């Protein structure tokens, strides 16, 4: 199957557990070298979709291709080029961090000088150098997450699947982990990132898929989704030097494309449905009629606002 620029392609994917359709005809692509956010409330179908992508779950219908290879017919080949980090990091009693990494390197059939080299590389990348002799059980949640990511990188996969990697981390550890994800993108990795911490995803994601009740309700860049939601409308918040009283709406409503949304004292919000460049007519009309503008801001939808607008929070 030709994937053009996509490293991951999901087509008509459906998975049921009894009468519950956990994933219902899901479709999306993920381009190479991007950070892609996979977002949805608990029970939306995120983990089930991830398990299919990671060759751990057989779908009822549809298919998934990674690097042009089918997860059903070529799972072994896909696993060689895919790194999966689950939401819960399993540990082994009595193992040091270095022994943990050595164990996983050998499960990937990496031996000898090659093993020492790749372990050194992932240790440097994830800043584990001071922790190699520590027992895994003694590590904090943030340290364990970095260690688990290090073992996910041992076989140098192009596609990384990270399921809720920042869950349970303190603010400092989340920032450090976010910076690490950005560095992986800089190194050419594709990161498929499932998370409910939307404030962490907004600054780093190149594209997102929003899923609810097993269906993808939006897919694309944040800008593309915002444009689709706005349906040609642009919102502005304006602050005047003095309270306009009842004069504002009759004055500005004469402009085609203007709709007053809210007015509160000196501040008001309006939607503009015309050409954005022509919104200057609003400022001109205000100035001509003696209103002095002290502040203007274009309302931007962040990922949290988009998510709240597109989902209801219901589960199946």
pLDDT tens-digit map of 228-260: 555 557 788 999 999 998 889 899 988 988 988
pLDDT tens-digit map of 67-126: 999 999 999 999 999 999 988 777 777 899 999 999 999 999 999 999 999 999 999 999
Greatest C-alpha distance within the chain: 80
Looking at residue 290, its pLDDT comes to 93
pTM: 0.74
* Pairing label, strands 190-194, 159-163: parallel
Where in the chain are all domains bearing CATH 3.30.70.100? 233-300
Place of tokens 């444009």: 227
The fold of 233-300 is: Alpha-Beta Plaits (3.30.70)
Q: Is the pLDDT of residue 2 over 50?
A: no
Pick the closest to residue 195 from 168, 156, 223, 157 (CA basis).
168
Pick the closest to residue 39 from 195, 201, 221, 219 (CA basis).
195
* Higher-pLDDT residue of 309, 53: 53
Where in the chain are all domains bearing CATH 3.40.50.300? 6-227
| Helix ranges, the chain (H) | 46-53, 75-79, 97-107, 112-126, 141-152, 171-186, 198-201, 222-230, 248-252, 280-288, 303-310
φ, ψ (nearest 5 deg) of residue 223:
-65, -40
With residue 120 as reference, give the H or E element that holds it.
helix 112-126
pLDDT tens-digit map of 245-298: 888 989 998 898 898 888 999 999 888 887 777 899 999 999 999 999 999 987
203, 169, 313, 40: CA torsion to nearest 10: 50
Pick the closest to residue 315 from 44, 100, 82 (CA basis).
44
**CATH number 3.40.50.720 given to 6-227:** no
Token pair of 137, please?
């059980």
Distance of CA 159 to the CA centre of its chain: 15
Measured CA to CA, the distance from residue 196 to residue 37 in angstroms comes to: 10
């Amino acid at each position: 199957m030709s994937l053009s620029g996509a490293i991951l392609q999901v087509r008509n994917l459906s998975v049921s557990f009894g009468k519950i359709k956990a994933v219902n005809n899901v479709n999306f692509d993920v381009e190479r070298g991007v950070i892609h956010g996979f977002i949805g409330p608990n029970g939306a179908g995120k983990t089930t979709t991830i398990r299919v992508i990671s060759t751990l779950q057989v779908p009822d219908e549809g298919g998934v291709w990674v690097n042009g290879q089918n997860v059903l017919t070529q799972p072994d080949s896909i696993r060689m080029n895919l790194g999966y980090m689950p939401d819960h990091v399993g540990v082994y009693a009595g193992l040091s961090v270095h022994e943990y990494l050595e164990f996983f390197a050998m499960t990937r059939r990496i031996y000898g000088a090659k093993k020492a080299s790749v372990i050194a590389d992932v240790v440097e990348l994830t800043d584990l150098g001071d922790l190699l002799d520590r027992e895994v059980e003694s590590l904090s949640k943030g340290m364990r997450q970095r260690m688990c990511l290090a073992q996910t990188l041992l076989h140098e996969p192009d596609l990384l699947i990270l399921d809720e990697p920042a869950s349970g981390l303190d603010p400092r550890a989340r920032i450090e982990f976010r910076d690490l994800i950005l560095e992986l993108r800089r190194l050419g990795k594709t990161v498929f990132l499932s998370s409910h911490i939307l404030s962490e995803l907004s600054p780093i994601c190149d594209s997102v898929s929003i899923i609810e009740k097993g269906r993808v309700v939006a897919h694309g860049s944040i800008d593309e989704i915002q444009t689709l939601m706005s349906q040609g409308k642009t919102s502005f918040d304006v602050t005047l030097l003095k309270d306009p009283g009842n004069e504002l709406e009759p004055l500005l409503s004469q402009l085609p494309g203007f709709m007053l949304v809210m007015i509160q004292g000196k501040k008001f919000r309006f939607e503009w449905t015309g050409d954005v460049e022509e919104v200057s007519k609003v400022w001109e009309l205000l100035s001509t009629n003696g209103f002095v503008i002290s502040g203007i801001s274009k309302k931007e939808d962040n990922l949290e606002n988009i998510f709240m607008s597109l989902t209801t929070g219901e589960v199946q």
